[in-house]
Structure 1
């Protein structure tokens, strides 16, 4: 809670000067915050700001125009429209703080299109997470609308919805400290002895820690004693009756506002705990503008820090993902170092296939290429004959050899990405507030900066066409039906590409002549496109299989699925070709 009853009392006293002002405009300023433009009898325009923010709820005012900070918060827009429709040209009759509570009633009189006078009260309930703004028809004593509509399932004490009777927020046994008697204080203390001065808050409205700090300076005895507390209340009544405030703003050495309060302590310091040293006190003529500036700065600061935390979380998530991918690649690299073993197993199985018993799960063979000859135990995958197992190990050997050729460069890129992300994290932690607002573009990988909908590519029917290195065209399907159409249009020597082990668009690299070998750069860019148009777009690396179109056939009855053979695998970073990227 940043705004207490003493601060609201200072604002309410200033609002007395607005009596007779006419509402000219209502504007939604931020989520749970609206502003009323009032034109006074002196023809001056002032902005009355009302906020039901969970942390920074307040009532304040200022003379300078509010910035056009449009908000898309649905409840705020709805309530602002209701106020605009109901209070347009209404006249402010006065502002009242009820029972020294954090409850302010703004009373208006409006004239309906039929010329009838209508009395309305805008209740400002400044109560932390329960804060609300409620417009009430005084004649019918029903709610016209509320910024936060509450049903009985949300609040068992009262229902705050249009047409419901207005019920004040629950008060418990608390009472107005400005009207309580000395005898009543003694009765309260007898009923429950005060272990701490803050215990009075259970019985009286508006008893906050800053106010208690000021009250304690007015008496010698502890405020836990009823008589001492009564004497301090007499001082408070005099201050409020005569408006004997010393409106003060405290600034840090860099000029930023630390706090504001209607009265300082006797040493000139703010009545708050944990105040930084070397604060500079500044007396101000009006409390409303100072309060608005302070709370708006706090809200902006909190929004920046929330954004900073969100961006840091995203960067750290990306970093953890890349590190996990790097670990997986390292495991595969270690496995690739053993590729020769699988080649040897395949050769031994082909050589001694006739000697392997039928149904065996392991072949015990002799390798005569070693000196001396060694016995080798070769596992046989379930259901495979020795020849089929040999083909399996040859395929695994080729895959690992291919990985051994491509993995080092991919791992280097991943290590560089981890380093870049760590640098961004460190810069973001130290970045000034203004820089945090424009940080999003730095956290988004270049590979995802363009989307299929806005990529500057040519569209041919229902698929996209890209131009990659050496002038080759790559066609990409946009759905399962178009993927099948690509297969029908493919020529036997065209190169078909698809992400390994995941759904995604089919890609087709169109060759220029039969039997030609496509340059590796063109193949790599085509694979990057296929990876980009897949659910793995945000990964640091993706495996993409490619083969000639003659080795691809659709699965009957399974739209979008295809079987393929004679394939090789590339490991690439998902992205569009350079000429098709934004920014």
Structure 2
């Protein structure tokens, strides 16, 4: 959720706080809803990767399901005094007054970090000491900011960006020379990808437009409009829509073109190697002649010599370089071996050259067609490419209940399959042991125990624990799994996991259930 959208929600609180809170409800393990008198339900969906802050007028119900939710309901009590955003960042602070009673409830501050895959909800004292939180962040995960009960709360790192709420036309001048999308995402506070696109629509520009002085006035008007009404979506004129499509088509075409050019370069290098191999076939008679002469005059070759001059079979002198560490016979065999190797390379080149040339010509035709492709054709091409890749990556099985199961067989497959999975698919991995990522493709449907055990046993079998008994396997929704910044493919962190204990033995489905 982007900063300006959060700000729009908080503006609904303006002038209406303090307000009496009427209690908490918890619709699920990742959502808390506070009923605020006169405002409705303040809904906080705090689990990664898509946190949400909104006001919901309808009644929400649900008892606390986790220890964190029970602690939140017990400690965040009394009137809601403040609701403040850190700049236009995705961090919001809610301050509760506390309650007096048989056991007093002291004032607290609720910190909601709507930061994508790092989203979190924390309850602290007014001084900033963390009382409880949904997801602990230890030093091995984030060496710059540790979040645990008892520690002082540290907000995300500070940054300097232009505040669109107070910016004037002159403040936008440093953006000149940048593309609109780059200027919005890197230099304007509170704007992410979607709001940057909306800003371009409202300014009558495209995301790739390089900003000049004539763009500043429409950009300023669009920015003020976006601050006031960030949730609206502006339609494009026919001319602007055509330009957007052209630029979007080019952005899709660029990586496809680069991939084709890389393959063309590889094939051209192979053809060059084949030509060199065929040219070196001329060296074979000379190599064989040197081997033959050495074998014919072994008795005349001094031991340890680096070269020798002998008469060839026509009576002419022939200088033959030698390896001093080898015997004359071994040197002769070395020449025969080099001759055989050149012949084999030339034979392989003659076999592969026509095939490689045909592949090169096909790629050159493909890149020519790519340059003429429309946006819809490029989108279909990408969809087909993804389906083709999906069909060849990873082991594909069926669970007892009919769910598709994906098993990564190396780091790259683990990374690809996990990224490709639906957010509500179930992700399995042997606990604390190197091994495969296993995806149970439920897409949010409830999975019966036999299907869970099937996937867990696959994760255990395809790990370093293969053959062991009673192996712990963690599983969680794929949305709770993320790859840390700069981590290698296949290296992930996860939250909200449950654990099954299975034997790491092979399944009969490995040979029967492959799609």
TM-score above 0.5, yes or no: no
Query: What is the TM-score normalised by the length of structure 1?
Result: 0.40
Query: What is the TM-score normalised by the length of structure 2?
Result: 0.44
Task: Return the index of the structure with the highest Cα Rg.
Answer: 1
